[in-house]
């Protein structure tokens, strides 16, 4: 006679494997390092472009960080999702409270667009417009 619970254990294991693969696929497809899109040759002049910064990822995941607007650093903290829209943002850094969370940074500023994911295991993401377009990298320490 077969154990009634044995099939359930196999299904549960398969479900965990499929869920894990889906998470890996999602994070690797969105975590292309230094990926950016520049819609035109517009450059940042005097911080006049309005940047829309959006953080998404693990729902309710908490973060700390800062952004620099017209040379002034402003500290922020909160929970995902988070949105900020200000002119003159030139740099930002966001760190996850739990490294197992996923944090995705999206920035739009009229002339460029950035989508960067800091997958589980990383500390966060840092981005700037030093070259006139948004560049980002994962924080590993």
What are the φ and ψ backbone dihedral angles of 106, each rounded to 5 degrees? -125, 130
Whether residue 14 contacts residue 76, with contact meaning beta carbons closer than 8 Å, is answered with no
Instruction: Give 121's pLDDT tier (boundaries 50, 70, 90).
Output: confident
Other Cβ atoms closer than 10 A to 56: 16
Strand partners, 76: 65
Least confident of 8-12, 55-59, 82-86, 99-103: 8-12
Closest CA to 135 of 11, 41, 33, 67: 33
What pLDDT, on a 0 to 100 scale, did the predictor assign at position 11?
Answer: 66
Interatomic CA distance for residues 1 and 73, integer angstroms: 69
What pLDDT, on a 0 to 100 scale, did the predictor assign at position 8?
Answer: 65
What pLDDT, on a 0 to 100 scale, did the predictor assign at position 106?
Answer: 97
User: Is the predicted pLDDT of residue 96 greater than 80, yes or no?
Assistant: yes
Q: What is the mean pLDDT of the chain?
A: 78
Angle at 40 (CA atoms; ends 36, 43), nearest 5 degrees? 85
In DSSP notation, 76-92 reads: EEEESSEEEEEETEEEE
């Amino acid at each position: 006679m077969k154990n009634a619970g044995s099939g359930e254990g196999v299904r549960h294991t398969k479900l965990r494997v499929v869920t894990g693969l889906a998470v890996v696929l999602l994070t690797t497809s969105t975590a292309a390092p230094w990926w950016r899109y520049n819609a035109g040759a517009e450059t940042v002049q005097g911080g006049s472009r309005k940047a829309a910064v959006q953080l998404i990822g693990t729902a309710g995941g908490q973060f700390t960080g800062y952004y620099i607007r017209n040379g002034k650093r402003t500290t922020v903290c909160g929970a995902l999702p988070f949105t900020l829209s200000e002119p003159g943002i030139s740099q930002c850094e966001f760190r996850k409270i739990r490294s197992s969370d996923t944090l995705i940074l999206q920035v739009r500023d009229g002339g460029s667009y950035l989508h960067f994911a800091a997958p589980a295991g990383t500390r966060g993401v840092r981005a700037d417009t030093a070259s006139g377009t948004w560049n980002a990298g994962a924080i590993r320490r």
